[in-house]
Every structure is written in C-alpha cells, then in structure tokens.
Chains A and B, each alone.
Chain A
Amino acid sequence: MAKITLSKLRHSYYPNPKGPEDFALRDIDLDWRDGGAYALLGPSGCGKSTLLNIISGLLMPTEGRILFDDKDVTAHSPVERNIAQVFQFPVIYDTMTVYDNLAFPLRNRQMDEVMVKSRVHEIAEMLEVDDMLSKRAAGLSPDNKQKISMGRGLVRKDVNVVMFDEPLTVIDPHLKWKLRSKLKELHQKVRATMIYVTHDQTEALTFADQVVVMQDGDIVQIGTPVELFERPTHTFVGHFIGSPGMNLLPCEIRGGGAYFNDARIALEGPLISGGRGKNQVGIRPEFVSFGKKGLEARVKKVADVGRHYVVEAIIGDTSINAIVEQDAPEQGEKVHLNFAQSHTRVYRDGWIATQLPEAGR
C-alpha cells in the first residue's frame, strides 16, 4: 500500500511537442492517499489510460515526477514499483492452469511454495474461483478470465497499487454489476490503493471513494461522487455525470446578478467577479421542478424511464430537462419552471463562477 503523488506531470507522444495540443497530459498534480479507492473518469482520449500507464511504469512521462510514499519512482520499472494492472481484456497465460496463473507472479519473486499455495487459495476464495483451480485457463468464460487477471494483481500482498484499465469492457452486461460489486468487496477486504479507469460514470461512482474527472489531458475536478454530483466545478463534470446531465442556460451578467431571458435567476451564492467569457447558468434536472410561478416554458417531450420521468421543456431556443418522480406534465403543456436556488450556479467559460455563501464550509 502506498501513497501516490503525481507532480507536474506532462506527457506527449510526439518526439518534439510544440504546443499544448501535442500533449496527451497537461500539468497533472495529484495526491492519492494510501488504501483508497479512486476512479479516473473521462471520455475516450482524455488521457486517462496514458496517466495509468505512467503510474504503472509502462510509460515514461515527458516531464514530471511520480512518488510512491514520497520516494521518487519515475525511473523505476513496473516490477520495481510493485504494482498490478488489469487490462481491458483478460490477459492470462492460456497454457497454464488457473492455479499456476495466480501463482505466477509469486513464483517469479521466488516465494516459497507453501506460502504460494496458501496465498493462491486465499485469493481464489475471495474471487470465488477456487473450484476451478486445476482447470486450464484457456477454456474459461471472459468474466472468469478477467477475475483471474484481477487475482494475479491481488495475489501479491505487498503490492503498492492495483490499477484497472476499463476492466469490464468485454464482460456481458448482466455480469458487469456482479464483478463491480465484487471489486468493491475486494477493496474493502484487501485495502490496497486501487485506481479504476473508466468512461462509464456508473462504474466510477459506485466503486470510488474519490473520482478524478479528466478531459483533454487536464484534471477537471476531484471529489467524492456526491461532491461531483452536487457541485460540479466544471460544466464538463456537470454534463458528463448524471443522466441526463446538467442543464446549461446562456445568461448575462448585469450588476452582480444573472439574467436569463431578462429574468433574474437566484443563485447559490455571490458571483466571482472579474473575467470575461461565456456565461452559463447550470442546474441539474434533479433540481428543476414545476410550480405555479417561475420561468415560462412549453413541454416538448416526456419520457417515462421507469423510476422517474424526464421532461424536456423549451424556452425559446433553449432546452431544459427536468426530472420528476410523479405528476409529470403533458406534452405541449405550458409550465412554470423553478430552480432550487442552492443548486443553481453560473459557469464562466466552463468553470464555476459562483461562490458558496459564507456560512457553511
């Protein structure tokens, strides 16, 4: 188990990078405490796999340092860093049995056979593969193969960090949730530092204590799943997390207030002054409700998603989604929208531009 620090990390796949657009990772500074479960969330191409490979040592960063427990490991190989990585598709040694697969990393480190045996059985039990230990790895189903890949990562007790690179990609949907919960369970038992890379917000939010959201090589926000949902500090986070994502309404700033269609919008707190840029009001559909007074809108579409309704309303050119549990309005109906003030914010060029009121955190 180790504390991981990333310091001023930048990486480019080009030999002579010129501008910021040549960098896959730009200025990453991060601290991960020991034993936590972390997720790296972001769309394809945002740099999360690059970051993962830099942490594991499979890739040398163009600039910056990586520290495990305050020790600089930037020049160390994966073996020296003592990490484990689970890939998108199961990587197992086909010709070996399940037992030999799990034992492989231990035997390579010259561990005594008795200890190997006990350790392998321990992990196999945890993963519920102990009944297939003598089977050849090649004949198993993908989810079992992936379990064994994970097992190989966890079998070493002293592993510093276990990394998962979109490990559920090849798993059948109905088995995904099983493996997800198994992973969470494993983390609670093993208490190793785990980093989980994914583009799926459900996976990230259920697994992690803390989520790092990335976009285009930058870290956009770090926080607990609740924080990310309740108070996104970037429009990307607001839009990427939540289904549907946060509503964004173009607005004007006049005299310290925000105006949308000439109606003043009540915000969570005072506006951060200064800076020019595109201003938008952000409010999650969960916090939009219907009432007798409020912004006038017309209902365009109502979708019944089972547990709730998603109502799409239009004001002029702007589309606003709202989530209601019951009493959804009819299509074409004229409604009045209310925004919960504590969750209404302004974003300037994507970044949050309102502050929380003094009383509170």
Chain B
Amino acid sequence: MAGRAGALAGWAALAAVGLVCLAPLLALLAQPGNWPGAYGWSVLRFTLMQAALSALISVALAVPLAGALVHRQFRGKATAIALLGAPFLLPVVVAIFGLLAVWGRSGWVSDLLGTPIDIYGLKGILLVHVFFNLPLATRLVLQGWAMVPPEQLRLGAQLGMGWRGQWQVFGAPILRATLPGAFLVVFLFCITSFAAALILGGGPKATTVELAIYQALRLEFDLGAAARLALVQLALCLAVGLIALRLVRPVQFGAGLALQPIALPRPKMLVWLDWMILVLAAGFIGLPILAIALRGLVGLGDMPASILPALARSIGVALGSGLLATMAALALAGLITRLRQGLARGVELGVMLALAASPFVLGTGLFILFNPILDPSDVALPLTALVNAVLILPLLLRLFMPALAQIKADYGRLAQMCGLAGFAQFRFVTLPLLARPLGLGMGLAVALSMGDLGVITLFASPDAGTLPMVMHRLMGSYQTAAAAGAGLVLVTATLGLFYVFDKMGARLGHRI
C-alpha cells in the first residue's frame, strides 16, 4: 500500500504492541509464584463462560438489529447509527448506575411492575455486557452491509428478491465475514471485565480473573501468581481467537463503505418486526443513558472547580492516544494486507490479543520495568497514551482491515498503472477513501481513552489528574451527586468527541 516505509511503520507498530503487552507480563512472570490452582481454574471457567455468553448474545441480537437498521428508513437514522457507539464508550461505573436506574431493585422497571426485580448475578453481568457490546457488534455488522455495492442492492430490489434469496446473496455472506470478528472483539472485551461483573455479579460466585489478579497484586502482593493467571487467560483467549478468525470468510464484494438507502423487498410481517426491534433497541440502549443524564443534571451544580482543568487534561491525553492508536492501526492494517495468508492471520490474532491483556498486570509490570530506570511519574503521561493506544488498537484493526482490503482490490491496479506508489498512493488514494472508517476509528480511540482504562493508577502524579479520577474521588467521599455530575460531563465530552470525529469521517469520506 504505502511502500517500504509503510511496511516498516507496520512492523514498528507490531513491535510496540508486542512490547507493551508482553514485557510487563514477562516482568511479573519473572517473580516467583504459583500457577492457578483449583480456585484459579474455577474463576477462569466462570470468566470464559460469562464472556462467551455475553458475546454470543450480543452478536446474536446484533443481527436482527442490523437488519432492521438496514431495511428501515427513518429520520435521524444516521445519527442513531453514530450513537450506536455510545454505550461502549461510557465509563463502566457510570453505565452501571444508569442501568440500575432502569433495571435495578428501585429502578423504573421495578416501579412499573410494582415488585423489585433482581438482576444481580450472571444475568446482571450479561445485561451490562450486552448493553455495552450489542451496539458495537451491530455497528460491525452494519459495516459489512455497507460494503455491498449499491448495484447489487438495486438488483436485488429490482428482482423482487424474497427473504430467502436475500439471505443467500447478502445476509449469509455478510454475517460470515463480520460475525466471527465481532464475536471475538466482544468476547475479548468481556474477558477483562472487572467492575461490571463485580458490582452486578451479586457475589464471589461471579469472580472474574481480573478480580483474582487484582487481589493477588494489591492485597496479597503475589506478583508471580497474578502473572501466571494472566498468562493462562491469554493462552485461552488465543485458542478462542484462532477458532474465531478461522471462521472469517472475507467477502468479495465490490465497493461501498456507507449505508445505501435502498429498499429491498421485505414481507409485511418482517417490516413490523423491524420496527419493533428498533423501538426495543432504542429503549434498551437509550433509557439507561437518559437515566445517566437525569442523575447527572441534578449533580452538575455540586461539582468542584477542578472539573474543568481535569476535563482539559483528559481531552489532551485522549487526543494524543487516539492519534497514536489510529496511526498504528493504519500501519498495522496496511502491513497485514500485504502479508501472506498464514502470517497475516497470525499477526492479526496477536494484535487482537491485546484486548485480553489484563490492565492490572500491564500497569504493575510497566511500573516494575520503569521504576529502576526512571521516576514513574515522569513517564506517566506518554506511557498512558501509549498503553491506551495499544489496548484500543485491536478494535481499530477490525475496522480498517476490511476497508483497506477493499480499496486495494478496487484501486490497486489503477494506482499501480498511474504510478501512484508509496506515499503518493497513501496520500491521494488510500487516505481519502479510508476517511470514513478512519473517522470512526479515531472517534472510538479518543472516546475510549477519555474513560479510565484503569492501567496507570500506579503512575499517579501529585495533582488533580484526569476527569475519571476526579469522578472516582468524588464517589469515594460521599459526594455521589457531584460524582454523577462529573460523570455526565465526562460522558458528554466523550460522546461529543466521538461524534465529531465520526461525522468528520463521514463528511470527508466517499461513498466508495
């Protein structure tokens, strides 16, 4: 794609990912410790089970939701699709309180039904995970739909293709191309779940590996055991990843990265179903967010003055991290599209595993590595941006790769013939055509970095810190209303940034 320099950038990005993920782990593995025993294995089993279930449900529900979005037209559809990114970007604790406001024992649903409903336990964990990941999975499936060339859709409409034909020609191939990847992404995100699983889990039955690692690191100071646990988890994720990626069948569609407003014929019953699905989804996703807004508005007045500088700092770090992640993901995606099949799959899987890296292990390991050399607070900032970027990279990769492959397939020859190679090709062909997924990717990266990824709490600097930190501190000092207000500010800023970048991408991008 972009010549030798591009390939080099790709390898450099890969090396950075590997280093950031593995070096801390190795640092901790060097410490003596026990391999997980019976307790550790039962925790691992539970973690894998809840992650797999969450992923299955999210992905299964994403299919009809994506279908409904594709087939139905309504005002504000583009905004609705953009906002599908929203739940995923919410800070976990904020989202949980929002969900509880709706589904909790004193929530709206309980009030409606007259009796308290109990979502604590596995169902609570699944609820949170599906809330976070269903919209994301839907967006990934929609990306598959967006790659269908409009001519084919028009043809389908013209032929009056029934649902069976549509399934064979569009549905099945799209799902084969997007679902395994979507499943893997959601699965890996749910693996490292900490607060979500714990607060709604109901008790120690719902212990995840992250808690076990947290305990080992913080309370028992058993670094070796924590690292070994993390390693076993990584190995299991690797196995799952291998299976999932093997199931991916890349689609040989023609062009298109934006959703086309084409109306394929749809039986009356399915139309009703579509609308019902859309309403239900809007409620499921929108109500908790509304609750967050309401709670937050109440507390806005109580916020301390340090909110604004904290917000500014958060935005600064997030922008840096987002830029880093986007550039690295682009370089990596470019690299992978040039590699041979086997090696490409391997590299892709390796990067995806960054999602399964334990933030606690990473943070502690990095601390150990840096402490002898430098004062950790000196490197806190660049390290934060770097680690955040690495953790977000896999998701961006999933976004960029199909798009890059598409561009190469469509315009590779034309560019070669015109002598557009190396940087010129990158600048005049790849970048403009990639604008849409780039905008989305940058938006996701910046927004995710705004929330606290919990890695570098050890590197705290002697000052007020970032917005999630301020929010956490407020919560820890009885000031729940102010914390809710801070949460609202954080959420608004996060979503705002995401929306800006996503929109920019859509504006600058081309319906190619």
Decide whether A and B assemble into one complex. Answer: no
Interface residues of B (CB under 8 A from A): none
Mark A residues whose CB is within 8 Å of B: none
